[in-house]
Amino acid sequence: TQLLEQSPQFLSIQEGENLTVYCNSSSVFSSLQWYRQEPGEGPVLLVTVVTGGEVKKLKRLTFQFGDARKDSSLHITAAQPGDTGLYLCAGPTSGTYKYIFGTGTRLKVLA
């Protein structure tokens, strides 16, 4: 069974700090996605990484896919209160179109 484990589970930081969230698996994924979910809303796709070692940037967010395609990280530079939310990684299970989601990292950025 493919699993995605995220760490840390909770993170509370001050505005302006940097942080990194991790998504790990013992299985290889053809691609991984990162979502952000705000309270009372559904997850919104931020990025998809598909190549081992790939780095993608979205303003202050930097996403990296591990060389072996078993892990990914999300780094936020100079966090802002608007970054507050639940960050989820997700990936397709082998040979299917079924996506599994990670356990989530709940981020709170204090002003």
Partner 1 sequence: EAGVVQSPRYKIIEKKQPVAFWCNPISGHNTLYWYLQNLGQGPELLIRYENEEAVDDSQLPKDRFSAERLKGVDSTLKIQPAELGDSAVYLCASSSHQGQDTQYFGPGTRLTVL
The binding track of 26-45 with respect to partner 1, each residue x by CB under 8 A or -, is -----x-x------xxxxxx
48 interacts with partner 1 by CB under 8 A: yes
**CA gyration radius for the chain?**
13
Q: Least CB distance from residue 58 to partner 1, whole Å?
A: 15
Helix H or strand E segment including 107:
strand 105-110
Closest of 109, 110, 54 to residue 87, by C-alpha: 109
**Minimum distance of partner 1 from residue 40's CB (angstroms):** 7
By the rule CB under 8 A, 78 interacts with partner 1: no
Position 91: which residue type? G
Retrieve residue 24's tokens.
Answer: 């790990």
- Site for partner 1, rule CB under 8 A: 4, 31, 33, 40-45, 48, 86, 88, 90, 92, 96-104, 106
